[in-house]
Amino acid sequence: MNEPLLRIRGLHKRYGSRTVLRSVDLDVAEHEVVCLIGGSGSGKSTLLRCVDLLDVVDDGTVHLGGTELTDPRLDADVARRRIGVVFQAYNLFPHLSVLDNITLAPRIVHGVPRRQAEETARGLLARLGLADKERDHPDRLSGGQQQRAAIARALATEPELLLLDEITSALDPELVGEVLDVVADLKQRGMTILMATHEMGFARQVADRVCFLEDGVIREEGTAEQVLTDPRHPSTRRFLSRVLDRR
């Protein structure tokens, strides 16, 4: 395997006196889907925020395609343009229509002409089953529709890497499927994805690799099949039995 698209080495992150991530090493190759699993507070979301520079790391490095993102001399705004993020709470812009939500970044960050940006956005909306929603404002959409619109927004800038932060956790159970179908489709198309998730079944279905985090440490890492059905680390086993028992 040649140079991974995303390379994380020795990543440390503290909030005040609390250490959230401890020397995390993680690679994500191009076209690979990596799932982060673990209990709440295990550091999954923080890891994603550090990759997108929404949080400043306390030690370690993050490289994206050979560029060190953690270099303070690097313009964070430019670095972020290569990464798409979808949040748990959608965070769509409530004052803009779905179409404007999606075209905002292409237009004002990448300088794409409005007509062209809208054409691309319509293509994305059609693909995600939202073709008839482009004029609606986010508060007119269901949770699943909002989350799909948020995915469309993240894809509109054609990112090299997509970060998904528990994107189904805020959804009613019957809406989870429609969002996960979109993610499965993205994998089919070769998108590189790093995602935090609570959906173990889904992780097994789409993930090339699964990492189990606990207390800011990657306890176990391997193929989805191996980690989820035959976990080696006792804490992975404990976590999985807790999660799967609840079903």
Interaction of residue 152 with another protein, rule CB under 8 A: no
Question: Which among 3-11, 26-34, 108-116, 192-200 is the span making contact with another protein, rule CB under 8 A?
Answer: 108-116
Dihedral over alpha carbons 16, 87, 187, 104 (to 10 degrees)? -120
**What is the per-residue burial (b if ≥16 Cβ within 10 Å, else e) of 48-78?**
bbbbbbebebeebebbbeeeebbeeeeeeee
Question: What single DSSP character describes residue 47?
Answer: H
Beta bridge partners of 194: 34, 163
Q: Near another protein by CB under 8 A, which window of 14-22, 64-72, 102-110, 235-243?
A: 102-110
Kindly indicate which of the ranges 93-101, 189-197, 207-215, 233-241 contains the residues binding another protein, using the contact rule CB under 8 A. 93-101
Q: Which of 10, 31, 93, 241 binds another protein (CB under 8 A)?
A: 93
Q: Which is nearer to another protein, 4 or 129 (CB)?
A: 129
Shortest spacing between CB 136 and another protein, in angstroms = 9
- Interstrand relation of 161-165 and 192-196 (parallel, antiparallel or unpaired): parallel
Q: Does 74 bind another protein (CB under 8 A)?
A: no
Q: How far is the CB of 216 from another protein (least distance, A)?
A: 21
Q: Which residues contact 78 (CB under 8 A, 6 or more apart)?
A: none
> Of residues 135, 140, 238, 242, which one binds another protein by CB under 8 A?
140
Helix (H) or strand (E) holding 227: helix 224-229
Is the Cα dihedral 181, 124, 67, 85 positive or negative?
A: negative
Q: Which stretch binds another protein (CB under 8 A): 15-23, 35-43, 133-141, 181-189?
A: 133-141
Out of 141, 161, 180, 183, the only residue in the binding site for another protein (CB under 8 A) is: 141
By CB under 8 A, name the one of 175, 180, 193, 228 that touches another protein.
175
Q: Token pair of 39, please? A: 């209990």
Strands, E assignment, the chain: 6-15, 18-28, 33-37, 59-64, 67-68, 83-86, 161-165, 192-196, 209-214, 217-223
What is the contact surface with another protein in residues (CB under 8 A)? Answer: 52, 54, 76-78, 80-81, 83-85, 87, 89, 91-95, 104-105, 108-110, 129, 139-144, 153-154, 157, 172, 174-175, 178
